[in-house]
Structure 1
Amino acid sequence: MTQTPAAHLTTDDPPASAFMKLLVVIMLFLSYMLFAVAWNWGDLYVRSLGFSASRTALMTNAITIAQVVGSFFAANVMLRVGPRRAFTLASALIIFGGIVALTDAFPLVFFIRFVMGLGGALMVVLGSGILARLLTGTALQVANGINSVAFNTGLAVALTFGMQMNDDPAFAVALAAGLSATILILWLVISRSGLRGMAPVKAVDRSYTMRDGFREWFNWVYALAYTGLLSYYIVAFTFMNAGTVRWVVYAGIVGALSGTVVSARVAERRKPLIVVICAALQLIAAALVLAMSGHRLEILIGVILGLVIFFPMPFFVQTAFIRPEITPRQIAVTFSIFWAVSYAGSVVIIQIFAWIADATGGLGPDNVPVSVAPMIFIVAIEATFLIGTFLIWRWFARQWAARPVTSAP
């Protein structure tokens, strides 16, 4: 009989203390936060190379394409090598992105950005899988909510120091890689103890494959619902006015943290409906930001947009966890499909956005499209979040209606 590798850290190990588990959650948060910093500061470097809107979008899509590829394999990577080694690999790939500062050749820049994106894809899926096996109940809800704001926090950090880094984008890229390397070293130390006693992957769980996941209606709608919102957000921090986007990001942190606190106190039956309501509000706010560009109330609308985009994210993430009889392996597969499908869709959508921008005047000052046409397109695409979350809410309503009252969440 083959022994379980040490990297899998099964329940044969003594359980980690609550403090060590907390440190693991912090490491997961900081690692993905710094991926966002590396992505944004990498964008600064790409812009300094003077590419067109289409090529700039392609450089962003190098990361999103990698997210698609990495998301497909993330669950199986963790199953084969264990959570600790898998997350270490993801971190190393993100750090590799720092060498982009050494070249300005388009193919090399694309390849390096792709590798970094691959690390980010592995990291976000692995993070969900690790939390599902390490924590339960309210602790899991809070950890998921905190992790849902990691990327936005990274963007806030990147945008806050963006003006200084814009003067030397190559240094910014190297600094982001150095910070990620520091967190990786801490991860190697903390995870050895913090992941002890994790629930092992059961034999029945091993039989749940990506093919099984793709057969589930929920996984498709869950991913496609997020595709429009993700595309809108990537376009926002890449091609919209940095002054407004900065406030969207700041408000997003407040919104996500508030959503984390509130979601832990809200009954499961109400969570999908809250997401639908916020999806409607964010579509209205996105349209208002576009309509009121240059108006003195633009920043206020941007703050509202950030709040309604990120407040429902903890609720939205938890909808994947509150399905009947869900297992950690199914959670990992769901998020593999979620990120793969949503990033694949965003690759196409962002490239269409860039083609529309190039065809209607290209980019003006500060990398903002000259024409309003591409902005109208991306706001319309953002509506898929409202459509998808409405369908998910109705699905949950039917599921709960078919269950006995005593077993209701």
Structure 2
Amino acid sequence: MSNQTGKISSTRAGLIEFIMFFTYAFFAVNWIAGSTLTKQIMDYFQLKSFASATFISNAITLAKIIGNFLAAGILNKLLPKKAIGLGSGLIVLGSLLAILAPQYWLFILGRFIMGFGGALYVVYFSPVVIHYFTPEKRPTINALNGVAYNFGGILAMIVVGPVIVWLNTWQYSMAFFAAISALLFVLWPFIGQDFELNRSSGATQAPYTVRQALKEKINWLLPFTYSGLLTFYIVLLNIFPISGATAISAKTLSTLVAVGGIIGSLLAIALSKVYFFRKPVIRLAGLVMTGSGILMFNTSNGVIASASALLIGVSMFLPVTSLMMIPQELPDMTPARLTTIMGLFWALSYIIETVIYFLIGFIIDRAGYATGLNLALVASVTLFLGSFLLPETGHKK
């Protein structure tokens, strides 16, 4: 694998990581701010049915899938500096369009564009990691990137409420966070740079197409493994709080999962310094996540429910670093090939999650929340099962 880090300024690498981390974190803040302001947005556009508001979440899911599929092609065409800048620019453009939209369909279009930019951004983390950082530093950087959205979520919990009170209207409140994203977008041309996409171990590799990627088993195993975690996470934050089965408030639940995510990411960084295998970490996290979910879904004790929520957050984010490292450590990996793999990873993960989430909703309508939540628990087992199917790319120290 190409490793030109010795020739690259560590300051430049750090600044690139800083810009990318906070761009994605404030994408999360802006997105969560829009979700928090749903009632005001519905009133502004005179929407009577709450179902109309669900078009927003459907738009982001569609944008993520399309953006993930197209990310590799855009990177190859524009090269890293412009491709990453495009992702950042779309986040800002989508935010502004949503804020200025005179009609609801334009608001949804703005959120779609913003989601598309975020989808590109999350894919471009990986090629940047393997180009700018040594193998020893990659687990740490992967852990930071993996928790960027969660960091934005915690930041949103702290600042969105006061900003709404301060600025009164949903447009001004969202514009405040969009301005921060715009500042990061303006800084990127001075910090970002292009790099070779198809070099590995000093040799130029042939381009790696989506068609080739779809023929390789690992590119199906990676999203299969992650899809259960993703589905469980979304169910936990959107369905479980309204199921009537919670022993703690929805806000407390979200906070504990988010804090657990930060702890899990810090543990992943610490663990990467002393343990170098990937599959056992994924396997243990899968067991703890599903086991904690069973406990939380079936307890009426607030303390047990809180501890379970915290453990779920830890076990959701602890294995992400190991999961991201597996494709990065495959033989002859290049930034271009990794971008294709990660684009498929995110796209297929969200497609699987969307199908399962629909089935959960379908079952809840006919058999109640308990049955639907049990299906979410069954889906979460893919993290544990995938740990037996994925290749072990780690090694002894």
TM-score by length of 1: 0.82
Q: Give the corresponding residue for 1:174.
A: 175
Q: Is the 8 A contact 1:321 1:331 kept in 2?
A: yes
Query: Across the two proteins, how many residue pairs are aligned to each other?
Result: 372
Q: Which residue is 1:190 aligned to?
A: 191
Task: Give the partner amino acid of 1:131.
Answer: V
For 2:141, the aligned partner's letter is: A
Q: CA deviation at 1:184?
A: 1.2
Indicate the percent of aligned positions where both proteins have the same amino acid: 26
| Counterpart selection for 2:139 from 131, 138, 141 | 141
Corresponding position: 1:81 with 2:88: no
After superposition, residues 348-363 of structure 1 pair within 5 angstroms as 348-356=355-363
Cα deviation, residue 377, structure 1: 3.0
2:256 to 247, 256, 266: 247
**Residue in structure 1 matched with residue 152 of structure 2 by the alignment:** 154
* 2:116 is the alignment partner of 1:107: no
Query: Could you say what the CA RMSD is over the residues aligned between the two structures, in angstroms?
Result: 2.8
SS at match of 1:278: helix
Aligned residue runs from structure 1 range 333-372, under 5 A: 333-356=340-363, 371-372=369-370
Distance 1:359 1:96 in 2: 41
- Report the AA paired with residue 20 of structure 2: L
The within-5 A match list for 1:9-408 is 15-48=7-40, 49=42, 55-98=52-95, 99-103=97-101, 105-164=103-162, 168-191=169-192, 195=193, 198-202=195-199, 204-239=204-239, 240=241, 241-267=250-276, 270-292=277-299, 295-356=302-363, 371-392=369-390, 395-396=391-392
Counterpart residue identity of residue 319, structure 2? P
Assess, with a 3 A threshold, how the Cα gap between structure 1 residues 94 and 352 changes in structure 2: closer, same or farther.
farther
CA separation of 1:205 and 1:125: change in aligned 2, threshold 3 A: farther
SS of 1:161 mapped into structure 2: helix
SS at match of 1:137: coil
Change in Cα spacing, 1:106 to 1:360, as seen in structure 2 (3 Å) is farther
Quote how far apart the aligned CAs of 1:358 are: 5.8
2:71 aligned partner, one-letter code: A
**C-alpha distance after superposition, 1:206-231 (max 9, x if no partner):** 42111111111001010121112112
Distance 2:237 2:107 in 1: 20
Q: Deviations over 1:11-59 (max 9, x none)?
A: 9xx9541111111111111111112112211212335427767554442
Q: Distance in 1 between the 2:347 and 2:181 partners?
A: 24
| Aligned-partner Cα distance in 1 for 2:259–2:124 | 26
Alignment partners' CA distance in 1, 2:175 and 2:282: 38
Whole-Å separation in 2 of the counterparts to 1:242 and 1:104: 32
In structure 2, relative to structure 1, the CA distance for the partners of 1:358 and 1:36 (3 Å cut) is farther
- Structure 2 CA distance for aligned equivalents of residues 359 and 281 of structure 1: 30
- How far apart in 1 are the matches of 2:366 and 2:39? 19
Please tell me the residue identity of whatever aligns with 1:318: M
Cα pair 1:226 1:385 within 8 Å, conserved: yes
Moved more, 100-109 or 37-46: 100-109
Letter in 2 for 1:59: I
Provide the C-alpha distance between the structure 2 equivalents of 1:126 and 1:299, rounded to a whole number of angstroms. Answer: 35
**Which 10-residue stretch deviates more, 301-310 or 53-62?**
53-62
Partners of 1:53 and 1:204 lie apart in 2 by: 53
Q: Secondary structure at the match of 1:323?
A: coil
Contact 1:43 1:238 in 2 (8 A): no
Cα distance, 1:182 vs structure 2: 1.2
For residue 185 of structure 1, report the CA deviation from its aligned partner. Answer: 1.6
Match of 2:245 in 1: none
CA separation in 2, counterparts of 1:333 and 1:315? Answer: 19
Structure 2: gaps (5+ residues): 242-249
Contact 2:219 2:341 in 1 (8 A): yes
TM-superposed CA distance for 1:339, in Å, is 0.7
Cα displacement string for residues 77-96 of structure 1 (whole angstroms, at most 9, x for unaligned residues): 11111111111110111112
Task: Give the corresponding residue for 2:247.
Answer: none
Distance in 1 between residues matched to 2:54 and 2:105, nearest whole Å: 14
1:249/1:188 CA distance change after superposition, 3 Å: same
Q: CA 1:199–1:408 in structure 2 vs 1: closer, same or farther (change >3 Å)?
A: farther
